[in-house]
A and B are shown apart, each in its own frame.
Chain A
Amino acid sequence: MNNQQKDHILNFFEKGIRFDGRKLDEYRKIKVEKGFSGNAEGSARVTIGDTIVLAGVKLSVGEPYPDTPDKGTMMINAELMPLSSPDFEPGPPAIQAIEIARVVDRGIRESGAIDTKKLCIKKEEKAWSVLIDICTLNEGGNLLDASALAVVAALQDTKMPSYNGKTVDYKKKTKETLPLNLKKMPTSCTVSKIGNYFIVDPTSEEEKKVEARLTIEVEEDGTLCALQKGGDKPLTAEDIDKMVGIGIEKSKELRKFL
């Protein structure tokens, strides 16, 4: 980005506001709608400002992984849909999409938010597979946090389909939910550094000026369950501690939406 424009945004930060009038640690308006899809086993649509992300959960029965024969499996895939931005092209997932999927995956996997043992149907032979897909609808900045929130909300929305031991009947949904550990469900807050300032929830315009960012995923009690540093510039240890502090603080607000 042009240096003069970066200086200009720092003028704003000095006064504690951003181009859209928000405070540095303020999220845009967040909306979480669960169950937008009648066909998915679980779904959620998250809006943060102008950013809109959809997440859907499909369940199927398959073989557990050989190294975890008594557990169900989970897979998260993300796509930056060309529909959501003039900068996204059709084709296999871009590296940005892969990063979103893997970071969100780590948060859920490492926290143990899904009790995968309870997803086992018959040891070594059959277990539920939780297949989660993230699809962006409008790119307005901060896709990662929006995606993470959408995935957790979709998991909460999920109802198990009927299974008679042989086939899954998707048309018959039971009232049974996924075996989730709600206290462990992570919320994601990405803190970005521009100059010497830290902001949360950047718009697409702000994202272009971000020098470094840290995504912090937090469980209900403040335990960190995933971290990802991004951006071209390095961070000091002090920066990281400050950013983690902001992340933990913000996650309390985000958790209210679940």
Chain B
Amino acid sequence: MGKLLVEDKTIVTPGEELAEGMDFLPAEGTFRDKDKIISSGLGLINVNGRVIKTIPVAGRYIPEKGDTIIAKVTNILMSGWILDIDSAYSAVLSVKEAKDFIRRDADLTRYYNIGDYIVTNIVMVTSQRLVDASMKDPGMRKLIGGRIIKVNSHKVPRIIGKRGSMVSMIKQATDCSITVGQNGLVWINGSPENEIIVVETIKKIEQEAHISGLTDRIKTFLEKKTNKKINIEKVE
């Protein structure tokens, strides 16, 4: 016997009792205390059959292996670059992990200089949170021009959408290049008027990420702002 104590897809607070009964299984963001399942932070409760988890709605980015992020170069060493990834932890990009082959005595600032933004992958995170980055994969590059905005890293999946559908829709409507880092940094490049629409749209997604019907609302919003009809089939 089990009973859900809160409504699914609502915001729950730390220590709040989510369900009682041994039938339920506590997953991420929850823990069991005797016969109750309890939230271990502020989040959106998600019930899938017997599995209860919470999706975080706030919190700074925690680096994970495999993430593609946007990082800022903050320091240059003999062996590589130190990156600010907007987390409690900085990342290291060693010379051998840079995009192109770099000679031993090359001037590293000619590749990535302090203040430059790059798209890079996280390849390792140790238990002490030492983070290694690499730019070997295709698509990794230094970002030229454009502007960077910061969003809540937990909202990134909604901004990207299923198989990139949300961000593709925004790109189609505004003709802007957009790169979304898993760490919540977003690069936008296009005409000034369109960039402003992109920023407004992304902020709207951030605020309404936890409310259903988001894709349709954003589609309507974009069509109104750009006076363009958006073709969903064209969106890959």
> Are A and B in direct contact (Cβ within 8 Å)?
yes
Binding site for B on A (CB under 8 A): 1-2, 4-5, 7-9, 11-12, 15, 17, 19-21
Q: Is B67 an interface residue (CB 8 A)?
A: no
Instruction: Provide the residues of chain A in CB contact with B195, threshold 8 Å.
Output: 19
Instruction: Provide the residues of chain A in CB contact with B148, threshold 8 Å.
Output: 5
Find out whether the CB atom of B115 lies under 8 angstroms from the CB atom of A11: no
User: Which partner residue on chain B sits nearest A14 by CB separation?
Assistant: B192
Instruction: Provide the residues of chain B in CB contact with A7, threshold 8 Å.
Output: 145
Find out whether the CB atom of B145 lies under 8 angstroms from the CB atom of A4: yes
Instruction: Provide the residues of chain A in CB contact with B116, threshold 8 Å.
Output: 2
Q: Is B5 an interface residue (CB 8 A)?
A: no
A5 to B185, CA, bound (A): 15
Instruction: Provide the residues of chain B in CB contact with A17, threshold 8 Å.
Output: 192-193, 196
A102 to B196, CA, bound (A): 37
Number of interface residues of B (CB under 8 A): 14
**Inter-chain CB contacts under 8 Å: number:** 31
Q: A20-B196, A21-B196 are in contact. Are A8 and B146 (CB under 8 A)?
A: yes
Instruction: Provide the residues of chain B in CB contact with A8, threshold 8 Å.
Output: 145-147, 189
Find out whether the CB atom of A19 lies under 8 angstroms from the CB atom of B196: yes
Q: How far in angstroms is the closest Cβ of chain A from B219?
A: 22
Find out whether the CB atom of B145 lies under 8 angstroms from the CB atom of A15: no
Instruction: Provide the residues of chain B in CB contact with A19, threshold 8 Å.
Output: 147, 195-196, 199
Q: Is B106 an interface residue (CB 8 A)?
A: no
A5 to B187, CA, bound (A): 11
Give 21 CB contacts A-B under 8 Å.
Answer: A1-B115, A2-B115, A2-B117, A4-B144, A4-B145, A4-B146, A5-B145, A5-B148, A7-B145, A8-B146, A8-B147, A9-B147, A11-B192, A12-B192, A15-B192, A15-B193, A17-B192, A17-B193, A19-B195, A19-B196, A21-B196
> Of residues A2, A12, A19, A21, which shows the largest number of chain B Cβ atoms within 10 Å of its Cβ?
A2
User: Which partner residue on chain A sits nearest B72 by CB separation?
Assistant: A2
Instruction: Provide the residues of chain B in CB contact with A5, threshold 8 Å.
Output: 145-148
User: Which partner residue on chain B sits nearest A17 by CB separation?
Assistant: B192
User: Which partner residue on chain B sits nearest A2 by CB separation?
Assistant: B115
Instruction: Provide the residues of chain B in CB contact with A20, threshold 8 Å.
Output: 196, 199
